[in-house]
Structure 1
């Protein structure tokens, strides 16, 4: 009797928690990029942020949206992909504008050049949009032709979440090459870690496809590796290379 009497409270509370978790899934993924976006706008310097992060997330979320047509998963995950795609386009727009404004080389590079050496380093935001639309069109057409193949659909889902799991790898590699995390928003990475942990728990508790849970765990590990880099490079900063006098300067002295 007591349990039945509490139903009036527990049922709405359960719904409220479910709605809150769904809202966190939809919008929580974009929160880590807010401090990075603000830092870039404030400093007018995008060198610390790898735009390949945008590339990875755009590919991952477009593939996930296509995966939904073959295997209907929860709507919050679909809306999360749509919101994240729009967010990455905004990040790309800002980074491109800042980079072009600071670039001394005025030679225009465009997607239509089909130059692999300058892939994803174009001079206009419109070129990135063209690339995204071209990829979406090709991937969408292939998905349309193969939508009845279970193997294709499951592989598509695996590629989508595996690509997203590799999200932090460009930033991880950039930090390794520079032996520094300067310019990278630590708040962004901390939010990545907390968000990915929540997301993975959401996958596990809500019975999402296995690909989501496995790759979510991998994503958390990459986030932790980046945090480890931030700690190591802060404790052992790279020493500036000693300045070597030019022979001509030495003679002049």
Structure 2
């Protein structure tokens, strides 16, 4: 009887840990963007945050969702991808609104249908970002439908999904380098990136996720570490916001 109770207790504990880890995977990805969202909302400045981070995640998670149809993986990862896309659109909407509000002289609107590559992902209306991702999703979905039985194609989609996500920090690295500052970028966001990516990589290994997942997860952790190094390197450098405040009227 005691052994039976002990066995049931072990099973319950295992389920509890599984539920907690799954919940962390589902909602953990969006948490780092909460402090960045609040930072932009508070300062009404977007220069310190690269919108290409959002592009990377939207592309990565859209491909990951499509990859699920070709090669099934953990449901929590699928749900996470959907939630992350919603989160990225929320970030884009805020950034576009703030930029529009900060315009002193209203210039010409730049929209996706201009097909001007100079303003790619720098459009002035939120709908353009939605249109681009919608078009990307439609094209990718058609290709997945046509080649879903071709295993190498499916594997490439899976690799592109996690590799694109692994590189999401690169636009932020470049943004920090161009600004020679990390002002405007939420340090909490990057720390949460590092913690989340470390947990995620471990989760992939434990749950025996496809090799693309944990391999690129490790790359993501390295990029997070590099951004944290930038925070140290640029700690005494004035940021864009500081320069604006110091500029003569």
Are 1:110 and 2:111 counterparts? yes
Rounded Cα–Cα distance in structure 2 between residues aligned with 1:164 and 1:8 = 39
Partner SS for 1:48: coil
CA offsets, 1:189-213, max 9 Å, x none? 0000000000000000000000001
Tell me the TM-score normalized by structure 2. 0.93
Kindly report which structure 2 residues correspond to 1:49-198, keeping only aligned pairs within 5 A, or say none.
49-103=49-103, 104-198=105-199
Q: Is the CA contact 2:45–2:98 (under 8 Å) kept in the aligned structure 1? A: yes
Aligned to 1:247: none
Rounded Cα–Cα distance in structure 1 between residues aligned with 2:120 and 2:146 = 28
Rounded Cα–Cα distance in structure 1 between residues aligned with 2:153 and 2:27 = 29
Report deviation, 1:40. Answer: 1.0
Partner SS for 2:108: coil
For this pair of structures, how many residues does the alignment match? 240
Rounded Cα–Cα distance in structure 2 between residues aligned with 1:238 and 1:177 = 13
Report deviation, 1:169. Answer: 0.2
Rounded Cα–Cα distance in structure 2 between residues aligned with 1:146 and 1:5 = 50
Are 1:32 and 2:27 counterparts? no
Give structure 2 stretches of 5+ with no counterpart: 244-249
Report deviation, 1:183. Answer: 0.6
Q: Is the CA contact 2:49–2:175 (under 8 Å) kept in the aligned structure 1? A: no
Partner SS for 2:234: helix
Are 1:201 and 2:199 counterparts? no
Rounded Cα–Cα distance in structure 1 between residues aligned with 2:64 and 2:162 = 7
Report deviation, 1:238. Answer: 6.1
Rounded Cα–Cα distance in structure 2 between residues aligned with 1:169 and 1:105 = 31
Aligned to 2:16: 16
Report deviation, 1:130. Answer: 0.6
Report deviation, 1:156. Answer: 0.5
Rounded Cα–Cα distance in structure 1 between residues aligned with 2:109 and 2:54 = 21
Rounded Cα–Cα distance in structure 1 between residues aligned with 2:55 and 2:220 = 16
Rounded Cα–Cα distance in structure 1 between residues aligned with 2:100 and 2:158 = 36
Aligned to 2:246: none
Rounded Cα–Cα distance in structure 1 between residues aligned with 2:184 and 2:3 = 55
Tell me whether 55-64 or 40-49 shows the greater mean CA deviation.
40-49
Aligned to 1:6: 6
Tell me the TM-score normalized by structure 1. 0.91
Work out which of the two has the higher radius of gyration on C-alpha atoms and give 1 or 2.
Answer: 1
Partner SS for 2:49: coil
